[in-house]
């Protein structure tokens, strides 16, 4: 009964973090300062209301994010696995790439990904720009090469002109990466009821939600899920209390986590702590997609 009560309380707390009235996904192009006194002393910080971005790069990046020309067989785009209509994910256990290939790991959300300190579950990319190389060239994802992608974009008059308007040297690998990354940085979901609570707005959360948030902090969830993205700012071992992988069985290479990047045995089973922003929209949960619901994830 005690375990069930904890799971219920934590699930409620996690769900409230996703309580966005209508998250604005349009690019924000100015910085608005929030007085420090208006933000409560909390381990979680509100998402910035606005962000300084280049509108031209955001617009071009949006087109490229939805562009199947970036995949080898012209069938898969970034949005195929990171649908903005599905919380920035595909809600699949494993993503499906070209030729119906099944990926090795669950696709994380692209929403608020610019707030993460590293990209990918194993943190192998330090920036959004560097992250783009992975899925575009992975055989079981988009399976393309930069040579063929750049050649295709040059053949498209609209793309060639759009790049030339922003960059003097036109279509280049780094420019493609930069514009997609700029668009991804625009995918903030600010001003949720939870953020308004953090900024001191009275009655932004219900009494039940406030009780859930208190449990979230008291039970220690906050140890790994804090900061502006409620996670995404550290690595942690999957299975701190119990041996998660021994209980689940069927170990895969992806389960090694950070070890696959560093080769350091101390990093085995360590993963980037995922953000809990909009988490109610991004099931199934964990790198292996093993938890179908928030209640299962908490347990």
**Active-site residue set:** 141
Q: Cα separations (Å) of 30 from 21, 33, 146, 182, 210?
A: 22, 10, 33, 14, 32
Q: List b or e across 124-142, with b for residues whose CB sees 16 or more CB atoms inside 10 angstroms.
A: bbeebbebbeebbebebbb
| Cα 271 to Cα 245: distance, rounded to the nearest angstrom | 13
CA of residue 12 relative to chain centroid, distance: 21
Q: Which two tokens stand for residue 113?
A: 């990904």
Q: Which two tokens stand for residue 96?
A: 């499906």
Reported as type and span, the H/E element at residue 133 is helix 133-137
């Amino acid at each position: 009964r005690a375990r069930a009560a904890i799971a219920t309380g934590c699930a409620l707390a996690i769900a409230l973090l996703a309580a966005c009235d209508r998250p604005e996904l349009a690019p924000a192009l100015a910085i608005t300062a929030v007085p420090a006194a208006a933000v409560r002393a909390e381990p979680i910080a509100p998402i910035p209301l606005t962000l300084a971005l280049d509108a031209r790069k955001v617009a071009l990046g949006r087109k490229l994010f939805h562009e199947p020309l970036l995949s080898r067989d012209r069938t898969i785009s970034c949005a195929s696995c990171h649908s903005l209509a599905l919380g920035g994910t595909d809600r699949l256990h494993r993503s499906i790439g070209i030729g119906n290939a099944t990926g090795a790991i669950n696709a994380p959300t692209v929403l608020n990904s610019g707030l993460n300190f590293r990209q990918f579950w194993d943190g192998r990319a330090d920036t959004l720009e560097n992250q783009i190389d992975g899925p575009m060239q992975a055989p079981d994802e988009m399976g393309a090469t930069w040579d063929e992608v750049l050649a295709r974009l040059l053949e498209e008059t609209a793309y060639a002109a759009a790049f030339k308007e922003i960059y003097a040297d036109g279509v280049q690998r780094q420019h493609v990466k930069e514009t997609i990354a700029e668009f991804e940085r625009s995918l903030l979901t600010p001003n949720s009821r939870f953020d308004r609570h953090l900024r001191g707005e009275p009655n932004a959360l219900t009494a039940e939600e406030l009780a859930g948030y208190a449990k979230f902090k008291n039970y220690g969830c906050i140890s790994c899920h804090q900061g502006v993205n409620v996670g995404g700012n550290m690595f942690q071992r999957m299975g701190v209390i119990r041996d998660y992988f021994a209980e689940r069985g069927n170990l895969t290479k992806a389960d090694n986590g950070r070890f696959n990047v560093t080769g350091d045995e101390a990093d085995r089973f360590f993963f980037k702590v995922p953000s809990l922003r909009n988490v109610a929209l991004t099931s199934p949960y964990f790198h292996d997609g093993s938890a179908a619901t928030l209640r299962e994830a908490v347990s």
